[in-house]
Amino acid sequence: MSLSLAQLLQRLPVTLALCAWMVGAFLVEVALGGATDLDTLVRLGAVHGGRISEHGEIWRLVTGIGLHGGWLHLVLNLLALVQLGALTEWIYGPRRMFSFFLVCGIAGNAVSVVGNGSWLIGQVGASGALFGLGGVILGLAWFGADPWSTQLRQRVARVLTFCLVFSLLMGTLPGLLGLPAFFDNWAHLGGLGMGLVLSLAYRDPLNAESRVDHRVFVGMLSLLVASLISVGIRGEAALDELALEQAMLLEHRAESSADGMMRAVFVQQAADAYTEASLSDSEERVTALIDDCSAETLRPLVVLWWQDGEQSPWLHQALEEWVDVAPDDPDALNALAWSLVTGPEVGRDPERAEALVDEALALVDHPDSSYAEPEMFRAAAFDTRAEALRLQGRMAEALQQQRDAVRLGRDQDIAELEDMEARLKELEAAQ
């Protein structure tokens, strides 16, 4: 039997009100800059470890519950709230359900701040509160009074346990694989633990609401209103230091990641963030970050910066570091050589580029070389040498070298063949 909106409001007023809060907050996010924009989320009250511990912005533990980092995040939490919230409200009543939701959400965010420390920036979502409601239901099924305990164990306990455990595993797995976490298990565990505690305190939902319940409800409602007012008064103050904090967070993630692509991504993001922050020591910070990279990280880092279209101001430094840590890597030598003939004019050095190409080709042509695709490398190296010769004014040599590069490129079906052929036409036209 379908229910009208008026009947739903009468039966589940708090669940629907919380849904409205989350949807309304999301629309504000979109209007002010986007649900994935860190500045917008922090301005609107996202959980921020440093602002809470150093500036006393405790209200962020509340306001972060209603914010979400995208449509999918919002929809998934709304679906969970409609189910867990409705069940909790039906069993315990609207006032207790509201208090449970807010207390569990605050507990989850508080545990997250303790677990993540000042590196927690921009945490949003109601998952801690939802895990708390799940804890309340599970605790009632395990430890509560009948008839609730028996009915819940038979109908929902097994499925709910599976969902909660699966979500916790999804939050743990990325860390085991050396990837950034998609879920905050600190918040999940904090909310779940508080929910279990509440279920022990309210083992019999049939007990009438007491004055304490009423006072807790009024206190939680007042806290929510006060927190939302605090967003309007103090939310924007956090933006003053956000660029630096974000850069430091990305640097921390880079240092915490295993060598390879993931670390390269964080190094690139941290370098760009430090550049945008325009600090007096930005250059020193980025230099130290690049100098700490291994060859396994520098290779994808160089590719990432090259893919940006315009050469990053840090690209050449990364190339120099790559050659320094892997002097016998032909790819590193040729990549640096290419940068020396195609980068900013002030830094070009065709003579050194030619020498680097000669060194790289000698490594590939060595009898003990195990380079996987030597002919494809020769095509790229000849292309680099041709550009170095052109910049030195040795046009006849450059033309012959470019012809050799195009010939090998055609044989190997190299991806850069079209660009090689264009450079060959330019050299032929210059003769």
Catalytic center residues = 127, 188
Count, residues in the chain: 431
Question: Residue 328 is encoded by which pair of tokens?
Answer: 């016998």
Gap between the Cα atoms of 341 and 330, Å rounded: 17
Distance between CA atoms of residues 425 and 399, nearest Å: 9
Secondary structure tally for the chain: helices H, strands E: 23, 2
| Separation between Cα atoms, residue 205 and residue 38, nearest integer Å | 41
Tell me the C-alpha distance between 21 and 74, whole Å: 11
Residue 93 — left, alpha, or beta (φ > 0 → left; ψ -120 to 50 → alpha)?
left
**CB-based burial of residue 170 (10 Å sphere; 0-12 exposed, 13-18 middle, 19+ buried)?**
middle
Tokens (6 digits) for 224:
């929510």
* 27: amino acid identity, one letter: L
Helix 282-291, helix 242-256: angle, nearest 10: 10
Burial class (CB within 10 angstroms; exposed 0-12, middle 13-18, buried 19+) of 386: buried
Helix, strand, or coil (residue 3): coil
> b/e per residue, 344-377, with b = 16+ CB within 10 A?
eeeebbbeebbebbebbbebbeeeeeebeeeebb
What is the CA angle 272-278-279, rounded to 5?
Answer: 110
- Give the DSSP letter string of 292-322: T--HHHHHHHHHHHHHTSSPPTTHHHHHHHH
Is residue 39 within 8 Å of 87, Cβ to Cβ? no
> DSSP readout, 56-68?
--TTHHHHHHH--
